[in-house]
Amino acid sequence: MIISGALVAKRIFDEAIAITSSLSIRPGFGVVLVGDDPASRIYVGIKERRAADLGFVFRKEVLPMTATEEEIIRAIESLNADEAIHGILVQLPLPDGLDTDRIIAAIDPKKDADGFHPETVQNFLSGDRTSIPVFPEAIMELAKSSGIELSGKNGIAVVNSEIFGSIMQKAFEYEGIVPTIIPAAEAGSHTEDISNADVVVTAVGQPEFFSRSMFKSGAVVIDGGISEKDGTVRGDVSAEWSDTDIFLTPVPGGVGPVTVACLLRRTVRLARG
């Protein structure tokens, strides 16, 4: 039972279009792209096209691989000062040697489109559920689209980042899900917990890290991992089964398009103020 990212993304885009049509200004979206990573350029291109579909003002700051942190921060500050830009994203990953946290922190929190500025994250963890970063927001949008009543269910997130684990724990709690956060390195010792979970979120980035036998019948499995194997894009969950009795997001076509939709919907909301 595949959960279609395309359908969920369309619903969110339609919501963004409705909000945009009520505004007296055009929402503006700014992206900072550093280096020549092919995947990053593809992702920025997708965001640019979708922003154009919504009639956004779009501004892209492209810097070379050799750019210093100061040069990147100056590009961010230029977008901060641009009144036509309401949402700003720094495309990750940045080249090695750069302080990602410092660079993200340079974004004006009032223009934080991605939701991972420290102030935005703290607001979310402190009780403001509207401040949820867009990646976990997309995960929860997909989980809710399964049609399963989530409140009271047991949820597990297998993660590679402590801060992302904290965000997913809070996101689960907001939906009434009983949360368990498992570091990816410890997943092997939690196979029984994973097999009993009603909702499983994966964000490991290792192809086929999970097999079908690890999930129970009726589980909602949101595959947030993305990696490459044998020249193809893969998720964390084995794709060698399509006739199972679980709810699963595909890779590609699952979390990715919904994350872009949430990113642009947030930009519209920032423009609305």
Position 228 confidence tier, pLDDT thresholds 50, 70, 90: confident
The DSSP code for 137 is: H
Across 168-174, average pLDDT: 98
Across 127-136, average pLDDT: 97
Residue 192 has pLDDT above 90, yes or no: yes
CATH pick for 24-110 out of 3.90.1150.10, 3.40.50.10860, 3.55.10.10, 3.30.390.50: 3.40.50.10860
Beta bridge partner(s), residue 180: 156
Average predicted confidence (pLDDT) for the chain: 95
The single-letter code of the amino acid at 218 is G
| Comma-separated ranges of CATH 3.40.50.10860 domains in the chain | 24-110
The size of the chain, in residues, is: 273
| Comma-separated ranges of CATH 3.40.50.720 domains in the chain | 132-256
- Residues identified as active-site: 47, 91, 114
Across 211-234, average pLDDT: 89
**What does the pLDDT read at residue 140?**
98
Task: Name the CATH topology of 132-256.
Answer: Rossmann fold (3.40.50)
Position 242 confidence tier, pLDDT thresholds 50, 70, 90: low
Pairing of strands 178-183, 154-159: parallel
Convert the pLDDT of each residue in 22-75 to its tens digit: 999 999 999 999 999 988 999 999 999 999 999 999 999 999 999 999 999 999
Strands, E assignment, 184-219: 199-203
Peptide bond into 27 cis (omega under 30): no
